[in-house]
Structure 1
Amino acid sequence: MTTPLAPALDDLLREANALCETHRFADALALLDPHIGQPPDDAALVPALHLLALSAMGTGDAARAQALWMRCLAAKADFAQAYSGLAALFAALGVLDQAQALYERLLSLTPADADARSNLGVVLQRQARHAEAEAAFRTVLAQCPNHADAHYNLGLLMQGQGRRAEAEVAFRAAIAANARHAKAHNGLGTLLQEQARGDEAAEAFRQALLIQPQYPEALNNLATLLKASGKLAEAELAVRLALQIRPTFVDALNNLGCVLTDLKRVPEAEAAFRQVLVLAPNHAEAHYNLGVALHTLERLPEAEAAYREALRRLPGRVEAYNNLACVLTALGRRGEALDVLHEAVAVRPDFAEAHFNIASLVKEYGRLDEAEAGYRRALAANPDYGDAKFRLATLLISMGRFEEGFARYECRYTMPGFVHHATQRLLQCPAWRGEPLAGKSLLLWQEDGLGDMLQFGRYARVLKAQGAAHVAFACQPPLHRLFRGVDGIDAVIDHEAGAAVAAQFDCWVSPISVPHHLGTTLQTIPAPLAYTPEPALVEHWGARLATLAPGPRIGIVWKGNPKHFNDAHRSLPTLAALAPLWNLPGVQFVSLQKGQGEDEAQHPPASLPLLHLGSDVGDFVDTAAIIAQLDLVICVDTSTAHLAASLGKPCWVLLPQYDLDWRWMHEREDSPWYPGTMRLFRQRMNEAWSAVVERVRAACAERLCI
């Protein structure tokens, strides 16, 4: 039997309402439940039923709340509060048509209800009926100019339509109407962040959090801003605070993963993205970000799967196409990679990164004109695209178009990621741009590899011939002894000393910049640097070489510097890759290998006897003294090739198919930089190194008449 409300009704409702206001909804339910009875006695109970429905909503029992409000309306068809509650319930459940109908019914009963009209506007906005939503908000504001929620909701609508100036006015009006409107501060922050007004955005987010410290959206937005400004530790703290408040906040979990990725804590980032996908399996950005993490961890098949999942859910995510293509390229599936990149530019024709990667791939197929066009398209889409500038420059040089190529190659001084960019601030004297050098002092400055300096060191002689009074070369120690004997060099110093005395020079220049300033063409390349090995060293190393049996002596190098970006392609996997050369009768092999690969040379297989000298070599002067006493040098693309060819020694270079260095140009079997001494053996498309080595063996047999 139900206890009647009767004389104590008002007191009971006041107590239940107080409980609701303090969010003690379960206590309010327990207080009212014994008194609500059953229909048809509801007429007197409508206020209690409404309060009970609000309490049910507060405990998350939407079904019971709906049933209670329906009882309210059955008992009192014009009970406005029930329409308001039901409309809010259906809006929360995403049943927008019913929510709209209920708000419209409520407004027919209470046309001046500004809150109801504002909420109707929100429902219309969620239905993408933007013009009607805007009309609803503006109607509210015409009636109630200080309606903070209407201003805020109008701001969201304007922001969603890209009407940023109007959105900012609306958010600021909401704040003016209610300075403690945390959502308006947060909305203003997101708008300012979109406009790269980072300091203002951060202040807006902080204001939101001062008003409502337990505001996960504002914390997550602040974390995004901190991440963008490189304050990663602070960003991690903010996003973790958001997750403490709401552990299942998928956008914050995804953001945490992105912060951890930037912090190089990639396994943790992977875990965060996987947690997002447990909560929201269709979260396209989490699939994409997981792909980035797996890509970074070099788990390429898994990265491919993640990128494909991202694209299945979000076909317009062009970055996923681009990254997928990079994975496919790394997996050796270059044809598929090209197809994927063409899909990317079909979605976004001005996607610079995709044009760049298309160009880089077609270059590997020898389609140089297409590659050039691709790099130029990338630069048309993004004129500041440093990698595209550099690749176009090196492509043009490799095609023999030195004038434009070397001019563009100077772009390395504008690229912060290149060491060249810092040189300009380090050296306290002007850069040489090709002005007359008569009577001037010039500092040559090494910025690139050892092989580069051996190749372009030839220009010291040319600069000296143009009248330079004093030419000093600041370079790495392995080059010092050799360049002290090079024509055109007056002094050799290390980089620290060079930087200290730079102000005493009239100008400085990198050796690789000289071809541009002198207008070098294929026809005017100067002769290689001239160096005569020291007799004492020739005698010293001659004694070591004399331990070999009679016969032609061939020096070999099969691996380059492991830090080189293309070492995986340009170095041979092992000494054994050269094994067919040992089938040449009477030939004696000398290992010049240093660093990577020395262990193999020190303990070669019994079937590959050789004299290993590389570990005992101090610098290039020693290497030059050895090479001078050999008949031939066979090597991969390393500095030894430049040294041997500069000494006039026949040098055969094994060149990789992929990411071939620009200096070797295309298709030629010789090098215009080393005419008459260098022969190039190029790895053909999809050709194994064994086939290249067999061609080298056959050429050796022919040369040595074996």
Structure 2
Amino acid sequence: MRFFRANGATPAGLTLKHRATSGTRVAGLRGVHGVFKSTTMATLHAEELSRPEQRHPASSNSVQRDAKFADALAKVKPLLDSDAVMSESDLVQALNIAAVCSLGLRKAEEAEVYWRRLIDVQPDFVDAYNSLGILLKGLNRLQDAEAIYRQMLSVYPDHAEGLNNLGAVLFDLNRLPEAEAAYRAALAKRPDFAEASHNLGKALHAANRFAEAEEAYRQALQIEPSKVEIHIHLGNTLEQLDRLTEADEAFQAALAIRFDVPEVHHNRAIVLKTLGRLSESEASYRRALAFRPDFHLARFSLGSLLLSLGRYEEGWPLYEARYDQEGRIHHHSAAVLQCPRWRGETLAGKTLLVWQEDGLGDMIQFGRYLPVLKAQGVARITFACAAPLRRMFAGVDCVDEVMSHGEALLRSSTYDSWTSLISVPAYLRTTLSTIPPKLRLTPDPALVQQWAERLAGLPRGRRIGVVWKGNPKHHNDAKRSVRSLATLAPLWSVPGLTFLSLQKGQGEDEANAAPANQPLLHLGSDLKDFADTAAIVAQLDLLICVDTSSAHLAASLGKRCWMMLPAHDVDWRWMRDRTDSPWYPETLRLFRQARGESWDAAIERVRDALRTVAF
């Protein structure tokens, strides 16, 4: 039997050209895998850029293709299984045909066996390494894929495509410095290798080296200007660099090449929202959904935009799309809890598990729905939450039991249903005019007395709490947190005030080592949980803070709170352009950083307000 080259025609007349590629993701910022955020950039895979008719071929064509694979495999498999005598060249070609056909018939394990046999027979057969590496990477066997590419490079150390493919595997393993080195080595061998430049940009972006990522993407575009995914990545990077007009131009360039990619419309909508072009942003989200109605991230993002505009009736149901995207904490909750998720059914006489899956501040803000649920006749409400919240919520009248997530998970099958507090307004159809009153929190009198003794030695005058940094894991922390305690220095110049630091986590080191010219009593390091914080806040006249959980606590306790908001990526709940909040109408005042403005300017406005406020 005569054998043909693997990139030519098989005896069945089937083209078996098998081009090696890196197989890496081709777009997007990798969003946090916890709480959904409205500025999470969409990602897509290379196969998603194929036309719909290519992704979903007609069944008759699929049958014909499978028949050709099966026919070609039937011709070579008996010879390989019987160890028939053939030349090395014929054996190599037969093994490659068998591997490609097996893969075409979705028999990955058999394809792997054939390619490994081929490598044993002819260790310098480059296509076998690349094909096997792509297969293993697609199966998420990343260590095995790495081993194959390193074996290939031991034979061909200057092989640019092999270096690029190794970099793609190392990128997926989150070994970014090694991935960068592999991509740079590939470019040293082939300077016009657009895919390696593109992949280098992705590695640099993932390492938050955005300016260098931009340079790599622009180099790739000089070589392949019509590559839509490079324009997408460039747009994402420019958005991170806060060069929003240029980011919009990059996304428009991508759309000029391919208008039907929903991720581009989604990511452009984020940029348009930040630019304040809200109607265009909404339209762009809706175009993304027109191209892919089950694009759950776009539904969530559109919901966030509408909520920020006060259009709650449409926004809340869309916001529930956070439960539909695999890999997110909300989707995981729905999968592991052993009782139905509440979707507005009657609760009279039922047991309800309230499950925290969002931030600490979210639970305080939406805790206002606990008495609303209780009023619907719930027989028993159990609140599963993080440790810092438990002692405080144990004192809330409408909560019958507070426990850890682990304990609640084990007992979840005993409840009639479960819900997240942030889902409740969707099913109660909350509007701006029907937001329930804030949750009534009562500080523990014993803790209040304990902290009062600590505060007794302070000078006479008004007590002002400060929190200048939020959770460092928050996706927007770099913008919403004030860079250092020293930035608040203008506040110290207002006479008659005593400042207390409630800072926890990042920023505590600054507070503990505050210079002598900063009149600050640091208490944050001694706070065990929110019960302690509530006992202190109850004895303050004002809390000045960034967007963090302390603001929700102070406002819920009825204490005056001034919140400083960044210009970029303000959370939907604080709406647009307002200095007040419908969630805390009597206690919260918002100081918004203007676009292009430093925190220094915003803090000067806070200082001016401090000088004139009537306590």
> If the length of structure 2 is used for normalisation, what is the TM-score?
0.85
Task: Tell me if the contact between 2:443 and 2:531 (Cα under 8 Å) persists in the aligned partners.
Answer: yes
Question: How much does 1:217 deviate?
Answer: 0.7
Distance 2:602 2:434 in 1: 31
Asked if the contact 1:168–1:188 (Cα under 8 Å) also holds between the matched residues in 2, the reply is: no
Match of 1:523 among 418, 423, 433: 433
Would you say 1:704 and 2:605 are equivalent positions?
A: no
Which residue of structure 2 lines up, in the alignment, with residue 551 of structure 1? 461
Contact 2:288 2:295 in 1 (8 A): yes
Tell me: CA distance 1:627–1:159, structure 2 relative to 1, closer, same or farther (3 Å). Answer: closer
Aligned to 1:444, the other structure's residue is in SS state strand
> In the alignment, does 2:417 pair up with 1:507?
yes
Correspondence for 1:316: 226
CA distance in 1, matches of 2:460, 2:104: 76
Q: How far apart are residue 601 of structure 1 and its match?
A: 1.6
> How much has 1:190 moved relative to structure 2?
5.0
Offset at 1:630? 1.4
Alignment of 1:534 onto 2:444: yes
In the alignment, residue 404 of structure 1 is paired with which amino acid? E
- Note if 1:632 corresponds to 2:491: no
8 Å contact from structure 2 (residues 73, 98) kept in 1: no
Amino acid at match of 1:339: E
Summarize the alignment of residues 169-188 of structure 1 with structure 2, pairs less than 5 Å apart: 180=90, 182-183=92-93, 186=96
Alignment of 1:58-457 (within 5 A): 148=4, 151-152=9-10, 155-156=14-15, 180=90, 182-183=92-93, 186=96, 189-190=99-100, 198-199=108-109, 201-202=111-112, 205-206=115-116, 208-209=118-119, 212=122, 214-457=124-367
1:152 partner amino acid: T
Paired residue secondary structure (1:156): coil
The one-letter amino acid of 2:333's match is T
Deviations 1:432-479 (A, max 9, x none): 111111111111111111101000111110011111111111111111
User: 1:693, CA displacement in angstroms?
Assistant: 0.9
1:442 maps to a residue whose letter is L
CA distance in 1, matches of 2:318, 2:533: 34
Identify the match of residue 565 of structure 1 among 475, 487, 493.
Answer: 475
Identical columns (%): 52
* Amino acid in structure 2 at the alignment position of 1:408: L
Runs (4 or more) in structure 1 with deviation over 4 Å come to 145-150, 157-160, 162-181, 187-201, 206-214
User: 2:15 aligns to what SS in structure 1?
Assistant: helix
Q: CA deviation at 1:195?
A: 8.4
With 477-486 and 530-539 compared, the bigger mean Cα shift is at: 530-539
Aligned-residue offset at 1:649? 0.9
From the superposition, tell whether residues 176 and 626 of structure 1 become closer, same or farther in structure 2 (CA, over 3 Å). Answer: closer
Equivalenced residues, count: 560
- Secondary structure in structure 2 of the residue aligned to 1:443: strand
In 2, Cα distance between the equivalents of 1:168 and 1:211?
28
Letter aligned with residue 479 of structure 1: L
Residues 32-79 of structure 1, C-alpha deviation per residue, up to 9 Å, x if partnerless?
xxxxxxxxxxxxxxxxxxxxxxxxxxxxxxxxxxxxxxxxxxxxxxxx
Between the aligned partners of 2:346 and 2:535, the Cα distance in structure 1 is 37
- In structure 2, the residue matched to 1:614 is 524
**1:204, 1:568 → 2: CA distance?**
50
1:657 to 554, 559, 567: 567
Query: Does 2:484 align with 1:574?
Result: yes
**1:565-588 deviation per Cα after TM superposition (whole angstroms, max 9, x unaligned):** 211111101111111112211111
Q: Shift in Å at residue 543 of structure 1?
A: 2.5
SS in 1 for 2:473: coil
Partner Cα separation in structure 1 for residue 105 and residue 65 of structure 2 = 12
Are the aligned partners of 2:205 and 2:213 in contact in 1 as well (CA < 8 Å)? yes
Change in Cα spacing, 1:170 to 1:414, as seen in structure 2 (3 Å) is: closer
Report Cα offsets for 1:164-222 as digits up to 9, x if no partner. Answer: 87776666666666654644653575577578764565466456557655422112101
- Provide, for residues 56-115 of structure 1, a one-character-per-residue CA deviation record: whole Å limited to 9, x for no partner: xxxxxxxxxxxxxxxxxxxxxxxxxxxxxxxxxxxxxxxxxxxxxxxxxxxxxxxxxxxx
Shift of the 212–357 alpha-carbon distance from structure 1 to 2, 3 Å rule, reads same
Q: Which amino acid aligns with 2:138?
A: A
SS in structure 1 at match of 2:272: helix
Between the aligned partners of 1:354 and 1:402, the Cα distance in structure 2 is: 26
264-273 vs 574-583, which moves further: 264-273
- 2:70–2:105 Cα contact (<8 Å) kept: no
Distance 2:341 2:65 in 1: 50
CA change 1:182–1:146 in 2 (3 A) is closer
Amino acid at match of 1:247: P
Could you say which residue in structure 1 is the equivalent of 2:591? 681
CA spacing shift, 1:384–1:349, aligned 2, 3 Å: same
CA RMSD of aligned residues (A): 2.6
Q: Distance in 1 between matches of 2:249 and 2:102?
A: 38
Structure with larger RCO (C-alpha < 8 A, sep 6+):
2
Q: Secondary structure at the match of 2:363?
A: helix
CA contact (8 A) 1:441 1:470 kept: yes
Residues 1:690 and 1:242: Cα distance change in structure 2 (over 3 Å)? same
Asked whether the 8 Å contact 2:73–2:97 carries over to 1, the reply is: no
In the superposition, relative to structure 1, how do residues 292 and 462 fare at CA in structure 2: closer, same or farther (>3 Å)? same
SS in 2 for 1:590: strand
Contact 2:69 2:102 survives alignment (8 Å): no
